[in-house]
Amino acid sequence: MSDLLERLRGRGWRMTAQRRVVAEVLNGEHVHLTADEVHARAVTKLPEISRATVYNTLGELVSLGEVLEVTTDKRAKRYDPNAHRPHHHLVCARCGAIRDVHPTGNPLADLPDTERFGFTVSDVEVTYRGLCPDCAGA
């Protein structure tokens, strides 16, 4: 993630302890944390960081394209640092576990012109739902 910090400094980001901690928390694969989860983890490293700053920083990372917003459930938005490899999500309907998945094929090609209503379609989001091995029981 120091890649990320370098890139951000290059873009004129003022480097602060708060921003460094948020970037650290968002490190890893299959990471899809809510803003308050990010805050909870950030607080263990920098106790005085505020909720507002976490929200602000996440919002900036999203508009810089370094982090994706994912809304897999109807509850809180989740923040996904895996922004540089396009992917979709597989969600457990019971426990909420989320996995990054890479389906074959291009769903954009599956939407005929007659079903586009004159829209300029630029993106498609696919969410698979089911039960994870634990929640499926035996």
Stretch in the footprint of DNA (CB under 7 A) among 43-51, 81-89, 100-108, 111-119: 43-51
Stretch in the footprint of its own copies (CB under 8 A) among 3-11, 46-54, 56-64, 101-109: 101-109
Residue 24 annotated as part of some ligand binding site: no
Q: Does 34 bind DNA (CB under 7 A)?
A: yes
Q: Does 93 bind Zn ion (CB under 5 A)?
A: no
Q: Which of 80, 81, 90, 92 binds Mn ion (CB under 5 A)?
A: 80
Question: How many whole angstroms separate alpha carbon 19 and alpha carbon 26?
Answer: 11
Say if CB 126 and CB 133 are below 8 A apart: no
Question: How many whole angstroms separate alpha carbon 132 and alpha carbon 94?
Answer: 8
Across-strand partners of 98?
91
Considering the complex, what minimum distance in angstroms separates the CB of residue 12 from its own copies? 27
CA angle 39-130-124, nearest 5°? Answer: 70
Does an H or E element contain 40, and which? helix 35-45
Say if CB 21 and CB 49 are below 8 A apart: yes
Q: Does 118 bind its own copies (CB under 8 A)?
A: yes
Q: Does 58 bind Mn ion (CB under 5 A)?
A: no
* Interacting residues with Mn ion (CB under 5 A): 80, 82, 100
* Interacting residues with DNA (CB under 7 A): 9, 13-19, 34-36, 46, 48-53, 55-57, 59, 74-77
